[in-house]
Structure 1
Amino acid sequence: MNAWLDDWDGNIARTKGVCWIAGWDGDAMGLNQAGPSIRCGSLGEWNPDERMTRLVLIGTDIDENRVSDTLDRCLVRADEEGTSWNPERGPFPRR
């Protein structure tokens, strides 16, 4: 996810929402992007029944399939679960 945040599509002017980020399983992470400014940090604890990512991307001529495919590559695969995900070493929160 951090690499995706560093490589914004120029057509995306604004992004906001809530993310579930590996290593931060108990925290609902808020994501806000406006132009080059990106903020991502804890909004508080998740309700376990509602833990999921919900993002809104605003811009022009956005290639929805490319953005979706790129975000899908950010997902933790089953064979990666429980390995090296440690928020102490992670890039979040971002300010």
Structure 2
Amino acid sequence: MKPEIQNLLGNSGGVPVLADPAAITDAKSKELIDNFNKVTSTDGLAFYPDWPAPGYYDVLVAGTQHLINGTKSADAVLDEIAKPYDDNLTSLGK
């Protein structure tokens, strides 16, 4: 997208990929974009939620639902989401 469109997105509360931080006038949007740029500059984003393990997105959604419903404790959910991640690392030889 053209720089002016990126900047418009940034000033409208979006998270543009290539906005000019100096062109963002809204303080909250600037903070959001600065944080996004820090995360992306350190390769802190995965391509999609299933990356850590096959079907992992479903595991995360189910765990979140258990927390919202109060049907499982936070520790139980953490154990539940750690298992497929750890199992996948083991299958990769790590």
The TM-score, its normalising length taken from structure 1, stands at 0.22
Look at both structures and tell me which one has the larger radius of gyration over its CA atoms: 2
Higher relative CO (CA 8 A, sep ≥ 6), structure 1 or 2? 1
The TM-score, its normalising length taken from structure 2, stands at 0.22
